Structure formats: structure tokens, C-alpha cells
Chains A and B, each alone.
Chain A
Amino acid sequence: MPQEILRFEQVSKFFPGVVANDKVDLTIYKGEIHSLLGENGAGKSTLMNILYGLYKADGGQIYYEGRPVSILSPNDALKHGIGMIHQHFMLIPNFTVWENVTLGQKMEGSPVLPVTQLKQKVQEIAGQLHMNIDVNQLVGELSVGVQQKVEILKAIYRGARLLILDEPTSVLTPQESEELFVTLDRLKGDGCTIIFISHKLNEVMSISDRVSVLRDGHLIETRDKEGCTPAMMTALMVGRDVNLAIEKKPCIPGEVALEVRDLCAAGETHASTLKHISFQVRAGEIVGIAGVDGNGQGALSNAIAGIQKPESGTVLFRGEDVTAENVRRRNERKFSYIPADRRGEGLTLDFKLFENIALTQYYKEPCSKKGLLNFRGMRERAAAYMKDFNVKAPNTEAEARNLSGGNQQKLVLAREILKRPDILLVVQPTWGLDIGACEFVYQKIVEERDRGAAVLLISTDLEEVRNLSDRLLVLFEGQIMGEVDPAVARVEDIGQLMAGSQIQQ
């Protein structure tokens, strides 16, 4: 009989206008890996933030090792041996590994830090977990995968016996994910309990002992992994059957519509600086660019969209050099850009919907006449666009801020796609969207390709680029590591390229 370590009883949490958790009952056994599965906004993270003391529950009770506990701060959580590894790391890049790990730990007696001892202790624990880490390195200089190990190290150092991992693989390469799973298995072997939050089915299926599915704040069901199929899980997650498999007609590439030649463009770091990149995208095909975030995606999309001036090299639209042209000139060449950051770059959140729709077209008919804005024209067109793309909003006068992520993205898509571009640059189109909205976005991108647009899709979601692309390029540290055929390439091979090594034959 498995021993219970943690029990949620009727736990609820309300945010203004939203029920994040509604009377959730959940039991976690000692020494198991328990996955919480659900879409964005299903309430997984909220539930765990309550357990970790970051949020206060509005109702219900948490029992830890059989006793009712009240956890009001992460400190309380740590006292009970509960540690959490957040999606966005809680690390300080300007601090060394040992400083990050020991930060906030009370010293006995004098507040002067016994630096040598602390370093030794951290190194020791790293050794026990088979982590190859130099404790004197600055965390900012480590790769994302190693940073995550530092997070785990931090939790264990603080005496965590129950670890919560919030979407831990979203920032990792497939290989790094594998390594993480090995570490988690090792921790489980040492008697740790692990709660694993994810919306990626394959991961959940490969690592968990039991799975709980959340939807709209409700705990739908908890099951043993044995006897579950991915299809059953998806249906539980979404509440209906979904088909994310993308049906595409065969690709009929036409002329070269977008070309990048020997492009060098500065990024924030050395890794994200483009180094002599060249590729072509033909009309009627989707070229995907895979890679871990921070490997030059930003510089590439900025250079193509005309937001950033490249240091050298050329960008050509339909054979014409547009490198020196500004954003509007490029837009006039039937170029559309769907940026990664829809809230920051795609929309002006404080503007009304019709104003957002007019953003790239405001100077032309029907949005303006003889230099004066034509509000009626803008509103009419916005209403038509919103109807066409099924944007759920009260009217065209609502502020973009008040729309859900999915509807915000639909608004951007409507504006950029309904102008019927020849070249479409799409970056991270489904980041943070729920499955229903993902389906919609995928369908629209494929429609544009079938219509004859050249689509360049830059995404860190490997599943997404694999499924959508006709050809797939892998970006690593600002260079293209290779091209693969997404229909036949193995994930492991793509992962190798993403990590910077060539495919081993």
C-alpha cells in the first residue's frame, strides 16, 4: 500500500473573474512521480503555487504527512521539505552557482559566510546527484539545461524531499530533457517525491507513475499511467476529441520568394548573434527553423522584418534586395510578420481592436482618406476581419488587453494573413495558447501555404515545426546546423543538431 505524503482537500483559488482552482482533491504518494496534466490556464501552476506558499488558497485544506498544514510562504514550504522549480528560473545570473544555491539560508551564529565550507558542501551534493557543475561559475554563463540542474541542486540543498517542477522541459533540448528525466529517476530512487507539471503528453507518459488531469480549474481524474493512452489523456485534458495531426496536401514549391544571403546580425549574446546564414524559402512551402530559444531566432526575425539592420549580408524578397528598406516598404511588398511577442510587438494592448487591425494599414484606403483617418472604414474592416477569424470579443471597441491569448493571436493573424501576403514570417505562433487555438493557427498557416505564400516558421516548439514544415532548418548559436526532412527525420537527430553537434551516421 503506497504511503500518502500530501493531500489536497477541496482546495479553491479565485482570481478576479476567474476560478483558477475549484474544490480540488488530490493525493500524492511518497516516492512517486506524479504528473499534473492540463492546458494553459487549467490551474496546474496555481495549485502548485498554493502548495509552495506563493498564493493563498481561498478555501480547502492541505495535509502534509497526514497533518493539516498552513503554508504561507516559500520558506514555510521549505521547512516541510517542499521545493519548487519554476518555469522561469529563480536564479540570479550575476551570482555564482554556490551563491545561488546557498542564498537565503540562515547561518548559525555569525552572519559571516564560511565561503570555503559552503562551496565544498554544494559541490558534494552536486556530486551525489551526478551533476558535473563548477560551483564558482556565474550562473549566467551556464546553458539552460545546467541552470535547471542548479535549480534542482538548490532545492535539494535546502532539504527538499518533495520537488515540484513547473513545465521543466519547455526550455530544454530533447537531450537535455532526457538528462533531466534521468536525474528525476535518480531522485525518486533516493526517496524523493516529484510532482511534474506539463502539457506535453509524451513526457508525461514516459516519466510518471500516476497522472492527474486538470481542466478549467477542476481536477478531472487521477489515473495510474499503466493502461492510459495519449488519446485518452488528450480527451480528458480538452474535454473533447481533438485532432492536432496536421493534414497537408503535398507541397508544390514555386519560385524563390524569400532569400537570406550570408546574413550576420547582432543578438544580445554571442550565441544569439547570426553568423553568415543563408537559406531560401519558395512560394508554396513552409520552411521551419527549429532551435532552442536564444540561438539567434530574434536577430533573424528582426532582420527579415526590417526591425534590425544586419551587420552584413542581404535579405531578398522575390529576388529584390530589401536589406536597406524599412518596415513599411517591406510590408508594401506583401510581406507579413507575426512576431513571437504578440502582447509586446504584435499588438498595442491599450488600443482598441479596430485600431490594432489598422496598425499596419492605417495610411491607406479604407483606413484613411487624403491623409485623414477614416474611422468608419477602419471599424467596418475590423468587424469583417474579426468575423472571418472568429475573434471572440464584445465589439471592435474593446481593448486588445482584455482579450484572451488565443483571441489576441487570432487578431494578429487576421491582420497579417487577410492582407494575403506573398511572404509570411511566423514566430512562436502558439506560445501559451490552448489546444483549440493551436488547431486554428496551424490550419491558417497551412492554408496560406496552399494559397501560394512562402512561409518561414521560427519556433522553439519542436513538435510544432516538425509537423508544419515542409523543410526544416536547425539553428544553433546563430548558425544553421543542417537541413532535415521533417517527415522522416528522427527527433534524436534533430535534437543533436539543436545541441550543436552534427548528426552521427
Chain B
Amino acid sequence: MPVSLLDTTLGMAVRMSTPYLFAALGGLLAQRSGVYNFALEGMMLGGAYFGYFFTLLTGNLLLGILGAVIFGLLSGWLLAFISIRFGVSQMVVGLGMNTLFMGLTSFCSRLLSNSRDGSALNLDRLIGNIISGPAAEIPVIGSVLCSQNLMTYLIIALFVFYAWFTRRTEYGLALRAVGENPAASQTAGINVFRYRYLSVIISGALAALGGAYLTLTQVSRFSENMTNGRGWIAIAAICLGRWSPAGTFFSCLLFGLASAASNQIQVLNIGIPYQFALMVPYILAILALVSIQGKSSHGPAALGKPYMKNR
């Protein structure tokens, strides 16, 4: 059965939404606990670089992923430490960290390319697709399912887990409470700081995984600023999804579709200047955010407000 344009576009849309999904779930988790992770972009970039670097170094994709996760945890901790412990403006810390990681990854990647010749910079193996065989025969979704790798299925599972966890468990209830009213949570005996720290740290790991997806499953080498605003799109997706896991999930798919459409417009060469095609996801993000303005917000009530224990 020939693969149609629709099939390729849909498959591409899911692949392009995967990094959004990782970053958005991380951002959502942090925001639920009341802390903005504005450093998603930089954390993705770091994850992309370190995932690539450790794979290149060890020749082992798993170790590469582990490297990205460790970077993510550390960067999450740094963000948590500065914004939770010291109550520094979450916007400022986030922006600062983006710049930091942009510089750090560019620097490291130049060092690396100076030390090796060009062909030795490519990874020889990427994370492969996992479903094959008869499933491909299912119309439309068959080829979509078969063109995805483990990480995509992992993030879908994580979204389901997140939805269940926040609704149905004692820890999830506490996590949401901390983002709504830290003072009330504290008097209810919840350790506000622990929940916020853990959420932000895990958030870093998720964003880094989103970045690692780019280098380890898609392009096989790192290039400067390769995340190209994906972390910011993820933040827009959280807003558009009204802070619900399902809403965020589908917003990411929507942005993935827009990115895929942007690619296809360029490839098909249908007379639209490619610069306009590149704008599609970003214009969509702005339109989406404008469209929900004024409607009652479902964001956590204490989002963005540092909580200082009064002792």
C-alpha cells in the first residue's frame, strides 16, 4: 500500500509534537506546583546536546539518554534552587538559564567539532521505530503508528500517568494544592518546598528528554540553537490546554501538525515563500493564545508567586 501525503504528514506531525509533549508535560508539572519553568527552551537545548554528546562518547544510546536526564535534573534543580529557595522572579531566572544553556551548548559543540573531523560527528545509530508488520496495514493510523519510536510512546504513557496521578492520588492532590494555595497546603501539613522542588527538577528532566529526542531520533547530530523556540511553543501549549493534561496533549499535537504542515509546504513548493511556512506554528501559537484570552482561567492560583515561609 503506497504511503499517501496524508499519512506522511500525520506521521510527521506526531514526530514533531513529541518534543513539544515532553517539554509541555515538564512545564505543566512545574506550573501545577506553582512555579513557571521558563527555562524549558534552554533545558531542551541542553538535553539535545548532552544526549548527543554522551551517545557519541560511549556509543550507547541508553547512556546518552541517561546523560540528558542527568543534565535535566541538574538544571531543574538549579532553577528550583534559585526561584524557590530565594524567591527570585521566575521569569528572570528562566530567561537567564535559557541564555546560559544556549551559550554553554554552542561553546561545547564548537569545542567538539574542532576536535574531530566532520564525519565523526554523526551518530551511527538512532533510536528506531518499534511497531512494524501487520499494524502498518491499518488505514491512515497504521503508517503513523509504525513511524514512531519508543520515546513517543513513552511520553503518551507519561501523560496518562500524570492525569491519573494528579486526580487520583494523595500526592497528586497535594501537588495541585501547593500550586493553588501554598499557605493553606502548609497548614494542611504538606511540605510545599519538597513538592515544588521535585516538580521543577522532574520538569527539567522531561524538557531535556524532549531535546534529546531531536538529536537521538531525528537528526543524529547537534547544531547550535536547534530547538528553535520549541520550549516556548510548549509553554503556549500549556496555556492553550488550560492546564489540563488532555488539553495540553492535544495542543501539542496541534502545534506538531502545524510544524509538519510548515515542512510540507516547503517540500511541496506550492508557491508560498518558505519564510511564511516557517512562521506557521508561531502564528498559530499567538492566535491560539489570543483566542482564549478573557475566558476564565484554570491556571493554578498561586502560579508564579514565590512562597516564602514566614518564620
19 further contact pairs, Cβ within 8 A, besides A95-B177, A103-B190 = A52-B187, A55-B311, A56-B311, A73-B186, A73-B189, A75-B189, A90-B184, A91-B184, A93-B180, A94-B176, A94-B180, A103-B173, A104-B174, A107-B170, A112-B168, A113-B169, A113-B173, A115-B168, A154-B188
Which residues A49-66 have CB closer than 8 A to chain B? Answer: 52, 54-56
Between-chain CB contacts (< 8 Å), 5 pairs: A84-B187, A90-B187, A92-B180, A104-B174, A113-B173
- Provide the main secondary structure of the chain B interface: helix
* A111 interface contact, C-beta 8 A: yes
Range for the number of chain A residues in contact with chain B = 20 to 34
Decide yes or no whether A67 CB sits under 8 A from chain B. no
What is the chain A residue whose CB lies nearest that of B309? A54
CA distance in complex: A93, B173 (Å): 14
A residues neighboring B (CB under 8 Å) = 52, 54-56, 73-75, 78, 84, 86, 89-95, 99, 102-107, 111-113, 115, 154
Among B134-181, those with CB < 8 Å from A are: 168-171, 173-174, 176-177, 180-181
Query: On chain B, which size bracket covers the interface?
Result: 20 to 34
Q: In the complex the two chains form, is B177's CB within 8 Å of A104's CB? A: yes
- Chain B hits for A74, CB < 8 A: 186-189
Given the known interface contacts A56-B311, A92-B177, the answer about A78 and B189 at a Cβ–Cβ threshold of 8 Å is: yes
CB-based closest 5 A-B pairs: A104-B188, A90-B184, A75-B189, A92-B180, A74-B187
* B180 x A104 contact (CB < 8 A): no
B173, B185, B190 pick with most chain A CB within 10 angstroms: B173
A104 and B169 in contact (CB under 8 A), knowing A92-B180, A92-B184? no
Interface string of B24-35 (1 = CB under 8 A from A): 000000000000
Q: Which residues of A contact B170 (CB under 8 A)?
A: 105-107, 111-113
Q: Are B177 and A103 in contact (CB under 8 A)?
A: yes
Cβ A94 vs Cβ B187 within 8 A: no
A78 CA to B177 CA in the complex, in Å? 19
How near does chain A come to B83, taking the closest CB pair, in angstroms?
A: 22
In the complex, A92→B183 CA distance in Å?
Answer: 10
Q: How far does the Cβ of B145 sit from chain A's closest Cβ, in whole Å?
A: 31
Within 35-65 of B, Cβ neighbours of A (below 8 Å) are at none
A99 to B180, CA, bound (A): 13
B301 at the interface (CB under 8 A from A): yes
A102 closest partner in B (C-beta): B173
Q: Considering only CB atoms, which chain B residue lies closest to A84 in the complex?
A: B187
Q: Report B291-311 CB contacts with A as 1/0, cut-off 8 Å.
A: 000000010010000000011
Q: CA separation between A117 and B183, bound complex, in Å?
A: 27
What is the bound-complex CA distance between A75 and B185, given in angstroms?
11
A154 to chain B minimum Cβ distance, whole angstroms, is 8
Task: Evaluate contact between B171 and A111: CB separation under 8 angstroms.
Answer: yes
Shortest distance from the beta carbon of A122 to any chain B beta carbon, whole Å: 14
The answer to whether A104 and B301 have CB atoms under 8 Å apart is no
Alpha-carbon distance between A105 and B190 when the two chains are bound, in angstroms: 9
Q: CA A36 – CA B140 in complex, angstroms?
A: 72
On whether the beta carbons of A54 and B189 are closer than 8 Å, the reply is no
Q: Cα distance A55–B168 when bound, in Å? A: 33
Cβ–Cβ < 8 Å partners of B173 in chain A: 99, 102-103, 113
Contact partner of A104 among B183, B185, B298, B311, CB < 8 A? B185
Which A residues are CB-close (under 8 A) to B177? 92, 95, 103-104
Most buried by B among A52, A94, A103, A111: A103
Determine the residue in chain B with the shortest Cβ distance to A90.
B184
Given contacts A103-B173, A104-B174, A106-B170, contact A93 B301 (CB under 8 A): yes
Cα(A55)–Cα(B187), bound, Å: 12
Q: How far is the CA of A86 from the CA of B187 in the complex (A)?
A: 10
Given contacts A73-B189, A78-B189, contact A103 B174 (CB under 8 A): yes
Whether A54 lies near B187 (C-beta < 8 A) is yes
Contact A90 B183 (CB under 8 A): yes
Residues of chain A contacted by B171 (CB below 8 angstroms): 111
A-chain residues with CB within 8 Å of residue B180 when the two chains form the complex: 92-95
B186 cross-chain contacts in A, Cβ below 8 A: 73-74
> With A and B bound together, what is the CA distance between A73 and B193 in angstroms?
14
Q: Write the nearest CB–CB distance from B5 to chain A, whole angstroms.
A: 44
| CB proximity of A273 to chain B, nearest CB, Å | 14
- On chain A, the residues within 8 Å of B190 by CB distance are 103-104
What is the bound-complex CA distance between A54 and B186, given in angstroms? 9
Nearest-CB residue, chain A, relative to B188: A104
For residue A73, which residues in chain B have a CB less than 8 angstroms away from its CB?
186, 189
**Which residues of the other chain, B, contact A84 by a CB distance below 8 angstroms?**
187
CA distance A94 to B187 in the complex (A): 17
Contact B311–A90 (Cβ < 8 Å): no
In the assembled complex, the CB of A411 is this many whole angstroms from the nearest CB of chain B, namely: 27
A104 near B189 with CB under 8 A, answer: yes
Closest CB of chain B to A313's CB: distance in Å? Answer: 23
Q: Tell me whether B187 and A111 are in contact (CB under 8 A).
A: no
A108 to chain B, nearest CB (A): 11
Interface of chain B residues 175 through 224 with chain A (CB within 8 A): 176-177, 180-181, 183-190
Chain B, residue nearest A52 (CB): B187
Q: Which residue of A lies closest to B299 (CB)?
A: A94
**Residue in B169, B185, B298, B310 whose beta carbon sits within 8 Å of that of A103 in the complex:** B185
Which B residues touch A94, using CB under 8 A? 176, 180, 298, 301
Question: Nearest Cβ distance between residue B305 and chain A, in whole angstroms?
Answer: 14
Measured CB to CB, the nearest residue on chain B to A49 is B310
Cβ contact of B169, chosen from A91, A92, A95, A111, cutoff 8 A: A111
Q: Contact at A112–B169, with CB atoms within 8 Å? A: yes
**In the docked arrangement, what's the CA distance between A179 and B13, Å?**
59
Alpha-carbon distance A113/B180, docked complex (angstroms): 19
Nearest chain A CB to B173 CB, angstrom units: 6
Q: Which residues of A contact B301 (CB under 8 A)?
A: 92-94
A125 to B170, CA, bound (A): 20
A52, A84, A91 interface centre (most CB from chain B within 10 Å): A91
In whole angstroms, what is the CA distance A113 to B170 when docked?
6
Q: Which residues of B contact A89 (CB under 8 A)?
A: 184
Candidate in A86, A104, A106, A115 with the most chain B CB atoms within 10 angstroms: A104
Q: With the chains together, A453 CA to B189 CA distance in Å?
A: 53
Contacts of B169 in A (CB 8 A): 111-113
The contact of A92 among B181, B189, B310, B311, by CB within 8 Å, is B181
A298→B311 CA distance, assembly (Å): 33
Chain B residues, CB < 8 A from A99: 173
